[in-house]
Amino acid sequence: MRNKFSKERGADERSQTLLHTAQAQANALHGMYRDTLAAFMEAPNAVPVPRAARAMFWLGRLRQWRAIDLGTGAPETSWLSLHLGVVESLAGTHALALHRDQWSGPSRRHTYERDMSLQVAMLLALGWNELAAFALQSWFGVEKALAHQNPLNGMTGMIVGVAGQALDVSVPVTSFQRSDALLASIVEAWQADDTRFLPLANALAERHMVQCRLDTDQSLFDFDHPVEQAMPVELLMLLRLRGVTEMPPWLSHHAALAHPAAVLVQTSPPVQSQRCAAFIERASLLLPQYRGLTDALSRQVNVLQPASA
């Protein structure tokens, strides 16, 4: 019992260290990103779109974090604020995706694709399948004949592989290392009956705990941001795609789902903040192909709005 207590206490201390470090980094960058976005809003042609998009993405991430950060004194998760932040990050990422040539080199591609796949998982975890399908097609979609050219691996491969099957989107094939046999099994068996799926889900929850680390110059971890550390979106995504609407008892007590935001919240239509709507309007004027995001948002709202609305 003493070893178990020490282990849990050590894990909690490491988690607090990660949060404090990430919080310091976020606070330092918040002012810079806010100023960049303000400059873009005032004079869109004077600020490169990728720079403004990166600011929109990170401001959205910060909004998500603050929505679930109970340490700020908020009594519970602010789901509206979380939704606003998710759409903001989606808007920023989609603009960045249209400038793929600026980050598709081997040193940056892995990080961008990881962050993109986690956003797809978040969209699915929230029940926003229309938006998830749009993002998946726009960011990872390929012709079937070309699917073997750039295989995906790791957590990115698992999320994109499962989402591609669920949403009927042609995506790159997966090629997992031996150490990621669990992820390969999930891509193969995420629709299997509970007898097979439950052990995989529990193992994935264990893996989540191990992968909650801040990135270093030498290593990239699956979940280096507090949002995904608190909300195992890869697990929530799988449950949602299996038609589960409430957290099953066999998983609800796992430490990976200890945060109050790690739940299957009731699905509601996406909403845009004022700054997000303004960013989308200006980006659409500069990038006509960006307008597809507005159409996808409208489709998602229409699917989820009550028939009487």
Q: What is the pLDDT of residues 232-285, one digit of tens each?
A: 999 999 999 999 999 999 998 999 999 999 999 999 999 999 999 999 999 999
Does residue 224 belong to any structural domain of this protein? Answer: yes
Distance CA(206)–CA(195), nearest Å, equals: 18
Structural domain contains residue 19 = yes
| Full domain range(s) for residue 92 | 2-304
3-state secondary structure of 223: strand
pLDDT at 8: 44
Q: Find the distance separating the first CA and the last CA of the chain, reported in whole Å.
A: 55
For residue 250, being part of any structural domain is answered with: yes
285 within some domain? yes
Q: What is the pLDDT of residue 147?
A: 83
- The verdict on residue 309 lying in a domain is no
Residue 125 lies in a domain: yes
Give the number of residues written for the chain: 309
- Contacts of range 9-18, beta carbons closer than 8 Å, 24 or more positions apart: 11/209, 11/255, 15/212, 15/229, 18/212, 18/213, 18/214, 18/226, 18/229
> For residues 47 and 36, is the Cβ–Cβ distance under 8 A?
yes
* Residue 159 located in a structural domain: yes
The pLDDT value given to residue 23: 57
Mean pLDDT by 10 residues, the chain (309 residues): 43 50 62 93 95 96 90 76 97 94 74 93 98 97 88 95 98 94 97 96 95 70 88 97 93 92 95 97 95 96 74
Q: What is the pLDDT of residue 129?
A: 98
Check residue 30 and give its pLDDT: 79
The reply to whether 195 falls in a domain is yes
Which helix (H) or strand (E) element contains residue 298?
helix 292-304
Give Cα 226 distance to the centre of its chain.
11
Say how far apart CA 163 and CA 157 lie, in whole Å: 10
Full-model pTM: 0.89
Domain count of the chain? 1
Do the Cβ atoms of 56 and 37 come closer than 8 Å? yes
